[in-house]
């Protein structure tokens, strides 16, 4: 129904199960594509360049940043991950919706470039549960725990930039919610100006037939 594709961003605190929700949602909806990320990390067994990721060296990645080729990029455990801007722009221009599964700070970068992007905060259960999970990781060092807490605090603070929350207490329920958000956004009249005009103008100058 949309002329121009809609950009959806699935994001939220680590361990929220965003990837699983994304895969489930993709099996249920048409006309939506995932953007293939660029990464500097080594391919794992079975991963194909251009399908799972675009695998690039650190130098190549740095060059892409230099060229302004990224919609967003983040560094995570010494590896870098980024979303190529041109790919997303081409898909949207062709009328296809695009969904990105990225980190919260990547999501805030996307929002600056695409203010009409729909940011969905996928979060594991409630914040209490999140706190408990952080405490439970008994095998970690104090430094590692402190770092993890710091990251979680930063991630949660980003919630203010999001339009929707999809609580992942239950995978099926969270998938339903995410699917509903995508379906609803597609039917927003503000995203379908031509359709709106069509209805308003259609009968405007019509005369009754005898």
Site for its own copies, rule CB under 8 A: 1, 121, 123, 126-128, 130-131, 134-135, 142, 145-146, 149, 152-153, 156-157, 159-160, 162-167, 176-177, 179-181, 183-185, 187-190, 192, 195-196, 198-200, 202-204, 206-210
Q: How far is the CB of 198 from its own copies (least distance, A)?
A: 6
**DSSP notation for 72-87:** EEEEETTEEEEEEHHH
> Would you say 24 or 179 has its CB closer to its own copies?
179
> Would you say 48 or 142 has its CB closer to its own copies?
142
Task: Let me know: does 165 contact 124? Beta carbons within 8 Å.
Answer: no
Task: Let me know: does 33 contact 90? Beta carbons within 8 Å.
Answer: no
> Would you say 93 or 199 has its CB closer to its own copies?
199
Q: How far is the CB of 159 from its own copies (least distance, A)?
A: 5
Looking at residue 190, the DSSP 8-state letter turns out to be: G
Instruction: Name beta bridge partners: 73.
Output: 82
Q: How far is the CB of 130 from its own copies (least distance, A)?
A: 7
- CB environment 11-45: b (16+ within 10 A), e (fewer): bbbeebbbeebbebbeeeeeebbebebbbbeeeee
Q: Is 100 exposed, middle or buried (0-12, 13-18, 19+ CB in 10 A)?
A: buried
Q: How far is the CB of 140 from its own copies (least distance, A)?
A: 9
Q: How far is the CB of 120 from its own copies (least distance, A)?
A: 8
């Amino acid at each position: 129904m949309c002329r121009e594709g809609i950009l959806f961003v699935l994001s939220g605190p680590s361990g929220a199960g965003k990837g699983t929700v994304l895969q489930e949602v993709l099996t249920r909806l048409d006309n939506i594509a995932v953007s293939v990320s660029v990464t500097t990390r080594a391919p794992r067994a079975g991963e194909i360049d251009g399908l799972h990721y675009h695998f690039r060296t650190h130098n190549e990645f740095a060059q892409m940043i230099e060229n302004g080729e990224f919609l967003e990029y983040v560094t995570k455990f010494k590896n870098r991950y980024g979303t190529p801007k041109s790919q997303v722009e081409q898909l949207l221009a062709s009328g296809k919706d695009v969904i990105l599964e990225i980190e919260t700070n990547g999501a805030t970068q996307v929002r600056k470039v695409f203010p009409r992007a729909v940011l969905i905060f996928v979060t594991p259960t409630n914040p209490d549960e999140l706190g408990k999970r952080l405490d439970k990781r008994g095998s970690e060092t104090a430094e590692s725990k402190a770092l993890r807490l710091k990251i979680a605090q930063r991630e949660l603070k980003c919630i203010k930039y999001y339009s929707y929350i999809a609580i992942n207490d239950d995978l099926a329920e969270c998938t339903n919610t995410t699917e509903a958000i995508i379906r609803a956004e597609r039917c927003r009249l503000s995203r379908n100006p031509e359709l709106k005009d069509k209805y308003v103008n259609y009968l405007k100058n019509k005369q009754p037939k005898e």
